[in-house]
Structure 1
Amino acid sequence: MPRFLHVTLVVITFWLVPGADAHSAPANGQNFFKAGIEAFNRGDLQQARDYLEAADGLGLDSKALTYNLGVVYFQLKQYDKAAATFQRLMGSRQEALAFYNIGLVALAQQDLPRADRAFQRVLMANPEPKLETLARTQLKRLDVKLAEPRPPQRWIGLASVNAGYEDNIALFPDSAATAIEGGFLESVGAVSGLIYGSRKAGFRQDVKLYARHYPADSDFDTQIIQAETGWVQQTGFGRIHAGLGGDYIWLGGKTREGRARLVFGLKRQDCLGLANSERCRVEGEVKQIYPQPEWEAYRGQQYQVDARYQASASGWTGSLRYRVVYDDRKNLDTGREYFSVSPLRQGVKAKLEFAVTPQLTLTSAAEVRYSYYRTPHRLQVPDGVLIIRREDTRYDLSLGASYAVSKTVAMLIEANQADNDSNIERYQYGRHSVTAGVTVRF
């Protein structure tokens, strides 16, 4: 642990007067508390912890006890216990002080982004001048550390298991008499790492797995495997990458299509100079789609450009994404009717996150996507034949929350509403869903 962390924590320990805010506590609880402080002052941390835990277990109502117990846990390097103990001070007059110490815990655990959020929350809690100065000092040091290149992990991974409910699985139009609804189980896995070279220049491998199962209607089950191998290169302008990939998709337990992908992109920090902790990314993809015979209408190419911007400040993180997708597919001709499956799509997505505490983050997002089908549809209608160029505008809104149980485990919940407004009635639909699950990073 850096030396300045130890010194700063010990100085703050004596800002609270032991026992000053106790309320009608049992005499033996008070005695254990005093004995714990005495043990701490003579350097016996193990005994100090035992005495303070005993006072806490006897119901001593004292913010000073809670604070000093957190300090002892910190000194003993029991960081998870320390953070949980300081968390108990939220909503009290010591909230700013608690956030400061949670930031120190995060630094000790080498979790720099969580430390940054905690110190930002100190400033938002209207601290007294001395504590404000300390928090600003830590943030300045973090600005330097977060800007430094970190030793890369050669391999990282993620696994997620979720359960949810949808009220319109098949995306039936609003005019339909009924809709297919039900629960689903969802799993996600991803592994990414360097197979040759270093973060500055080397070959990278990415593998992603996705599966969704509807127990009540397996015809809508979906499985996807994606793999990509590419070269990454750090330059003075940013980090560039280019590679080749492939996808394989199953629907309802049957193979639907395979895809070959050419990918390229650029990532850069502090790209626009509008805020601290900026990140920009521009990526492009060219895909060749090879469908199974029953999906032959979807054979062809797809071209995509994706641009993203993200910035963080004072516990808030905002991002903006623009994506344009151009499809050149075979399209579906039944003889009597003709359906275009080759839209030009453009979409904008805005996302906002707020760290309520270092563990709890609230998220909201909104997306608008416009699709223009270049070739007109030819549809049979009661009055005869309708020839119309399809245009859709889809709106997506979501609200969610995540709680970090530890550095690697998080619980998530999200509610989503999607509405598709189309100039062809059969494609006009709404869908609501809710999802909850657990994510593990390794």
Structure 2
Amino acid sequence: MKIYQTARPAGKSKHAKDISTGHGTLGKHRLLSALAGLLLTGTVSATEPGTRQLESGIEQFKRGNFETALMHLETAQELGNREPQLFYNLGVTHYKLKMYRQAIANFKKVQGTDLEAPAKLNIGLCWDALGDQRKAEKAFRAARGSENRKVAYLAGQRLGKKRASNERGSSDRWSRNLEWDVYANVAGGYDDNVTLVAADAPSQQADSYTQSYFSARFGFADSARVYASLFDINYADIDSQDFGIGKVGMDYPLRVADWYLLPSVNIFQSSLMGSDYQEGHDLKFKARRYFGKNAFTTSYRFTEFDTSDPLFEATAGARHRLRFEYKVPTDFGELRGRYQYETNDRNDSPLRSYSPDRHGLALRYKNSWSVLQGYLDLDWRSSDYGSIVTVPREDERLRTTIGASYRLTANWDLGFRYQYTDNDSNLAEESYTRNQFLLDLSFGLPRL
């Protein structure tokens, strides 16, 4: 299902020809059986209320930020925009967020316009995801009779697959409803004060490093999803801090009244110096609610750490994290504020505590300018470690991060990040500053 790409108010988009033929920036994404639709071009009046928010919603959708896209599109609607492409885009975005009934309601609002044909096709997809095969087939039959040849062809494909599926039995429905996304990132950087992983302490050594990250998520129409990720960082000289971690898990998005809920569980295994470091599991519950164009999110996360190496026994134990976050899109970018409380119950060692209680405040500013995106993070954290050998330890950390990314193609991004950390402690050996530089290349397939 593709979002309705509007043309620039001042004239025809430089990609308009490619988009309309299905071979442009977004047209490279093949129309899959579980997520069909059309990518169209149209015209938006520059004087129509909410035009800027509509265009921002389209941009965020193209980046895969569907929740942010929804906030922009809903703001355009609140400002009085009643353009057919707004309702169509709302429908597509609701579909991506698995809000199928809301998607159907918006698709129905474009009847009698040029978007009626693809909307009928997408209504069929929504009913299919909801498990109402009778209504899905009715919508596909209506779309098959459209004068739009592409819509008619895709609707016929859906009907044909339904007939074949019925002949084979219900066992094949699993594969038809599978959705997935993939993300990969490779980077290189320089750190002027490498952090000792096991001790969470400064090494007072500088080094260059490379790191990589890969994640894949597989989801189903009934909302259950499984995922896996791998992260690895390798230093040029300080081999003792080479670190890697792998995770596998499952989550299940839910909608209850006005809340979007996401319970999840995963297990992980990490390595340090090429040997086993920690293993354990995460239990997490996240809830989000929208207030107009703003979004409030709260989450709780419990992590259990274990280790098979006596060298790291002091780090074993449990951690609890509670987080509250509020996001506000504005005309000059997106603002996000966050508070986090963390408590730890680790084994500790006679000379070092690994069980701090922490309070953290963070503020992020993010904005997008066509193919360029930038952000600024300000982060404050206080840590109370209690007393070790009758000596109390209290830290206060300030961290500033500046980053930017440039979209090379629909799937590739080039990014840069600089981070400065200033940790102040009542123990002189725990006070330090740190500068990190990172250049990365990322690849992401869209959420299908």
Residue 363 of structure 1: which of 366, 375, 379 is its match? 375
Shift in alpha-carbon separation, 1:321–1:433, aligned structure 2, 3 A: same
The 3-state SS of whatever aligns with 1:332 is coil
Shift, 1:264, TM fit: 1.8
Shift, 1:179, TM fit: 3.0
Shift, 1:326, TM fit: 0.6
Structure 1 residue 254 corresponds to structure 2 residue 275: yes
Instruction: Indicate if the aligned counterparts of 1:401 and 1:412 stay in contact, CA closer than 8 A.
Output: yes
The 3-state SS of whatever aligns with 2:96 is coil
Q: Deviations over 1:324-357 (max 9, x none)?
A: 1110111101xxxx322111011111111122x2
Instruction: Indicate if the aligned counterparts of 2:320 and 2:344 stay in contact, CA closer than 8 A.
Output: yes
Instruction: Indicate if the aligned counterparts of 2:25 and 2:410 stay in contact, CA closer than 8 A.
Output: no
Shift, 1:312, TM fit: 1.8
Instruction: Indicate if the aligned counterparts of 1:168 and 1:180 stay in contact, CA closer than 8 A.
Output: yes
Structure 1 residue 326 corresponds to structure 2 residue 343: yes
What is the identity, as a one-letter code, of the residue corresponding to 1:419?
A: D
Distance (Å, rounded) in 2 between the aligned partners of 1:155 and 1:331: 41
Shift in alpha-carbon separation, 1:180–1:136, aligned structure 2, 3 A: farther
- State the identity as a percent: 17
Matching residue of 2:95: 149
What is the identity, as a one-letter code, of the residue corresponding to 2:374?
A: L
Matching residue of 1:282: 298
Distance (Å, rounded) in 2 between the aligned partners of 1:370 and 1:343: 9
Instruction: Indicate if the aligned counterparts of 1:401 and 1:413 stay in contact, CA closer than 8 A.
Output: yes
Matching residue of 1:219: 240
The 3-state SS of whatever aligns with 2:403 is strand
Residue 161 of structure 1: which of 176, 181, 186 is its match? 186
Matching residue of 1:180: 205
Shift, 1:388, TM fit: 2.0
Shift in alpha-carbon separation, 1:241–1:169, aligned structure 2, 3 A: same
Shift in alpha-carbon separation, 1:12–1:433, aligned structure 2, 3 A: closer
Matching residue of 2:333: 316
Structure 1 residue 344 corresponds to structure 2 residue 350: no
Structure 1 residue 239 corresponds to structure 2 residue 256: no
Give the structure-2-normalised TM-score. 0.63
Matching residue of 2:432: 429
* Structure 1 residues not aligned, in runs of 5+: 14-66, 83-95, 121-132, 379-386
Q: Deviations over 1:389-442 (max 9, x none)?
A: 110011110111111122221110010001110011110011101001111111
Distance (Å, rounded) in 1 between the aligned partners of 2:92 and 2:334: 15
Q: Deviations over 1:10-61 (max 9, x none)?
A: x965xxxxxxxxxxxxxxxxxxxxxxxxxxxxxxxxxxxxxxxxxxxxxxxx
Distance (Å, rounded) in 2 between the aligned partners of 1:164 and 1:284: 32
Shift in alpha-carbon separation, 1:263–1:5, aligned structure 2, 3 A: closer
What pairs with 1:97-136 in structure 2 (closer than 5 Å)?
Answer: 111=62
Shift, 1:243, TM fit: 3.5
Matching residue of 1:198: 222
Shift, 1:231, TM fit: 3.2
Distance (Å, rounded) in 2 between the aligned partners of 1:285 and 1:114: 23
Give the structure-1-normalised TM-score. 0.64
Instruction: Indicate if the aligned counterparts of 2:179 and 2:218 stay in contact, CA closer than 8 A.
Output: yes
What is the identity, as a one-letter code, of the residue corresponding to 1:168?
A: N
Aligned length, in residue pairs = 331
Residue 304 of structure 1: which of 316, 321, 346 is its match? 321
Matching residue of 2:444: 441
Distance (Å, rounded) in 1 between the aligned partners of 2:392 and 2:300: 27
Q: Deviations over 1:290-339 (max 9, x none)?
A: 12211111222111112222222335112122221110111101xxxx32
- The structure with the larger Rg is 1
Shift in alpha-carbon separation, 1:136–1:350, aligned structure 2, 3 A: farther
Q: Deviations over 1:118-165 (max 9, x none)?
A: xx9xxxxxxxxxxxx999969965884576333767211210001100
* Structure 2 residues not aligned, in runs of 5+: 28-45, 73-78, 99-177
Distance (Å, rounded) in 2 between the aligned partners of 1:169 and 1:184: 10
Structure 1 residue 210 corresponds to structure 2 residue 231: yes
Distance (Å, rounded) in 2 between the aligned partners of 1:114 and 1:263: 21
- Give the RMSD, CA atoms, in angstroms: 4.1
Instruction: Indicate if the aligned counterparts of 1:306 and 1:321 stay in contact, CA closer than 8 A.
Output: yes
Shift, 1:106, TM fit: 9.8
The 3-state SS of whatever aligns with 1:296 is helix
What is the identity, as a one-letter code, of the residue corresponding to 2:380?
A: V
Instruction: Indicate if the aligned counterparts of 1:369 and 1:394 stay in contact, CA closer than 8 A.
Output: yes
Structure 1 residue 229 corresponds to structure 2 residue 250: yes
What is the identity, as a one-letter code, of the residue corresponding to 1:306?
A: R
